[in-house]
Amino acid sequence: MSTPVNPKTFDAETYGPWALIVGGSEGVGAEIAFRLADRGVSSVLVARKTGPLEETAEAVRARGVDCRIVPVDLTEPGATATIAEACEGLDLGLLVLNAGANTYGCEFVEADMAQVQKVIDLNITSPMQIIRQFGPGLTARGRGGIVVMGSMAGYLGHADMSIYSAAKAFSRVFVEGLWLEMREHGVDVVEVILGVTRTPAMIRAGLDMDLPGMTVSEPAEVAEEVLASIGAGPVHVCGGEGNRKGVEFSSGVDRGRIVAGAHKRMKALRGN
């Protein structure tokens, strides 16, 4: 994995004393919390399952900082208000919007619209609400950061997960605009683009990550790269040269060739 070019090194004065990590109970989110703790930054961790939240919070506290947990489903109404209540009185310097893996695969014309809506709510509505809730606090301080977890899937259309890839495309373009606005207030914004990453969610989903030619990142190395990328917005492609080349290829203008070619390659890799 390559080290990103970062105009700023991680500064706990800027991004602390508290961070909100939405999707912080496991995988990349938990690894970010550990690394923040090592730099003296306390965390509020948000996820659905209480067990992993409590376990991760204990491990964060063991590193000498404070940690709060918020068990809530981000796709339920009122989730942002619940998070805001849990963060009452905290000086938040960093927002990490990590939760967002795809939850629904289906050919669109056959899709259950309630499931489609959940993918949109998790990847678009919830991050926007949370940024709208906590963004004014960051601009008022005149320093801080916002990290939104993106995906290489957001650079081109995918069959059977057209909503997820489109939601990630939305996220990236939204973040580019937000980066322009927030830099005027001294706040760093970055969309970190992940390639295939060996997270507990991907392992549970049974994704075959050991296909030949596939670059696979580990959550701990991704977390380290995320913290090094906060000042390198608006977009940072994580995971080195292979992923950067993939993004470059996917961003070309000959869309039919690119989209159909990537689809064919993925099918061949998966042997179907």
Binding mask 3-32 toward ligand NAP (x if CB under 6 A, else -) reads --------------------xxxxxxx---
Question: Candidates 2-10, 32-40, 43-51, 107-115 — which segment interacts with ligand NAP by CB under 6 A?
Answer: 43-51
Query: Is 156 one of the binding residues for ligand NAP (CB under 6 A)?
Result: no
3-state secondary structure of 226: helix
Shortest CB 128 distance to ligand NAP, Å: 14
CB atoms within 10 A of CB 64: 10
3-state secondary structure of 145: strand
> How many Å apart are CA 127 and CA 96, to the nearest integer?
9
- Pairing status of strand 92-97 against strand 67-71: unpaired
Binding mask 57-76 toward ligand NAP (x if CB under 6 A, else -) reads ----------------xxx-
> How many Å apart are CA 185 and CA 233, to the nearest integer?
14
Binding mask 159-198 toward ligand NAP (x if CB under 6 A, else -) reads -----------------------------------x-xx-
Query: Is 250 one of the binding residues for ligand NAP (CB under 6 A)?
Result: no
Q: Please count the residues of this chain forming the interface with ligand NAP, following the rule CB under 6 A.
A: 27
Tell me the sheet residues that pair with 97: 22, 148
Residues 6+ apart with CB under 8 A from 129: 79, 80
**Residues at the contact surface with ligand NAP, assessed by CB under 6 A:** 23-29, 47-49, 52, 73-75, 98-101, 122, 149, 151, 194, 196-197, 199, 201-202
